[in-house]
A and B are shown apart, each in its own frame.
Chain A
């Protein structure tokens, strides 16, 4: 079977949506040449009226997409750098997201915001290494963080088909994941439905994005002593709380690994909701970036602030013994 890389999955999803629905269009910087390696070939296939290269004016082209959406288009925006989402937070959180409610249901803003290299890319330092998915979950913008090429394809397509704004984070650290898949089997993956990558009975590890691979590796290493269930929410907002409750009914123990800063990160929300409403037989733990993290440049410093495999291993062992 052919090998599907993560970036190829994103490009394929975008091409398939452009082909399936003429309302879909793409805005971004350098997308005509595919600098981010997602939009390659799309200009030639669909032309400059649907694949629109933009000047470096992120705030304007983000609201430009809102206006186009209000007029019936379904734009997809590509941001080369995750921190650009801070720049356009007003345009997404305060404009696009609020139109349906503020207009009393007159408006829909079906725009998809793709960050095809989120989180640390190692060596890109303070202003290119953020992973701000929790911010969007906090304000209630639909947020997906696919962990695998198949899910990247499926969730990206579902995001474009959705009638609300959706932010798609494609973690840089997941770009190396490849799958053998029959392309004919690739389908949209509904938003808000989690995926259990590995069933287990002792501890549930909720892992976000690229950290799913870390969790699978830890689960494998601990296989002889602890049965770990690896739970990938895939969509952080809306979160699959029903799926998580079912997993905790099996295990009663919870560890979250989340590449957010600690305060108000999605990991905090998962722990809070589980503590309020779900079955826990031991105090849960989370492994995150530190509070207020700014990733330093030097490689060892950059890595020191990201949630690590060793931290997860230690946390799983502690939670397995707790209670």
Chain B
């Protein structure tokens, strides 16, 4: 299991990856923008630290942290955001669809709440194949009012699937405060299906890791799904378009309060300062190389825009005859 240093390193990697990605959005090297994971790093880090390489995850539109924490190469991830052929998805997915099936990353998913049922199906298939691997589905507070996610929880409980439902409650579904959208409670939804659920501090990676370990052990032992509601705060915009179009849905005091507890500082304070500095420098080197690699990589050939559309190799008719 990872030690405090490794946990900090992953948090720092995600934090700085996101900040570098935002710079590349501003420079025009990443088109379409990104949904920054800033402030939520302890959740992906803690949960993925409880997993084995053969465990699988599904992620969200705000998914960079999950993908990196599960072990994706930051350089190929950055290349994917920049739409290059060397990207994880060969430049076909971008920020919201990053996937690396060799690492059990079944893809970020751009439809809120859509991936839960996919994770359940993968968990079921693994269970029937005799594996004790676990599936984790990450989602936000906005997803808990999507019918298909609630249906998936029912299926997971019914079939005692080895699934961990991780809700990252960052306070806002785009601009809608959680209180304005969620009747009852988030954990109450799990409880309704008989799924054990707890609410934990999503800003402290050690708390997240402990909770995730318990849930993963439970799933591996055949005891079924668990839900973790991780309380966190989205430090930055819903999406980088907010950097250009200012939306007034949370005031400065709210943001200051939300940012007062920083998962990177919380974990960083547990390290020897010199060691922390060494990690920060090493992470910067990794990200310098990631950005260099991404921007030096080739753009895809437009002639191949329909490549991979069909796994069977079927070629679609072109748009002009």
Contact B88 A104 (CB under 8 A): yes
Kindly state the separation between the CA atoms of A63 and B89 in the bound complex, as whole angstroms: 21
Kindly state the separation between the CA atoms of A71 and B99 in the bound complex, as whole angstroms: 14
Kindly state the separation between the CA atoms of A205 and B56 in the bound complex, as whole angstroms: 50
Tell me whether B71 is interfacial, beta carbon within 8 Å: no
Q: Interface size on A (CB < 8 Å)?
A: 47
Contacts of B101 in A (CB 8 A): 70, 103, 106-107
Contact A59 B124 (CB under 8 A): no
- Nearest CB in chain B: distance from A282 CB, A: 21
Question: In the complex, which residues 48-83 of chain A have their Cβ closer than 8 Å to any Cβ of chain B?
Answer: 49, 54-55, 57, 59-73, 75
Interface locus among B7-15, B151-159, B264-272:
B151-159
Report B120-160 CB contacts with A as 1/0, cut-off 8 Å: 11111110110000010000000000011001101100100
Kindly state the separation between the CA atoms of A67 and B127 in the bound complex, as whole angstroms: 13
Contacts of A41 in B (CB 8 A): none
- Nearest CB in chain B: distance from A188 CB, A: 14
Interface centre among B115, B125, B306 (most CB of A within 10 A): B125
Tell me whether A105 is interfacial, beta carbon within 8 Å: yes
Kindly state the separation between the CA atoms of A103 and B123 in the bound complex, as whole angstroms: 20
Q: Interface size on B (CB < 8 Å)?
A: 50
- Nearest CB in chain B: distance from A163 CB, A: 4
Tell me whether A259 is interfacial, beta carbon within 8 Å: no
- Nearest CB in chain A: distance from B32 CB, A: 14
Tell me whether A20 is interfacial, beta carbon within 8 Å: no
Contact B124 A67 (CB under 8 A): yes
Contact B154 A57 (CB under 8 A): yes
Interface centre among B106, B155, B311 (most CB of A within 10 A): B311
Contacts of B111 in A (CB 8 A): 90, 94-95
Tell me whether A100 is interfacial, beta carbon within 8 Å: yes
Given known pairs A70-B118, A102-B92, A102-B93, the reply for A109 and B309 (CB within 8 Å) is no
Contacts of A106 in B (CB 8 A): 89, 99-101
Tell me whether A162 is interfacial, beta carbon within 8 Å: yes
- Nearest CB in chain B: distance from A80 CB, A: 17
Question: In the complex, which residues 298-321 of chain B have their Cβ closer than 8 Å to any Cβ of chain A?
Answer: 306-312, 314, 316-317, 321
Tell me whether A110 is interfacial, beta carbon within 8 Å: yes
Contacts of B92 in A (CB 8 A): 101-105
Tell me whether A297 is interfacial, beta carbon within 8 Å: no
Given known pairs A60-B152, A107-B101, the reply for A72 and B129 (CB within 8 Å) is yes
Tell me whether B91 is interfacial, beta carbon within 8 Å: yes
Interface centre among B147, B148, B152 (most CB of A within 10 A): B148
* Chain A, residue nearest B98 (CB): A103
8 A-B Cβ contacts within 8 A?
A: A55-B158, A60-B151, A64-B155, A72-B125, A90-B111, A101-B92, A163-B312, A238-B314
Add 5 more A-B contacts to A71-B126, A109-B311 (CB < 8 A).
Answer: A55-B154, A59-B151, A70-B106, A71-B56, A72-B129
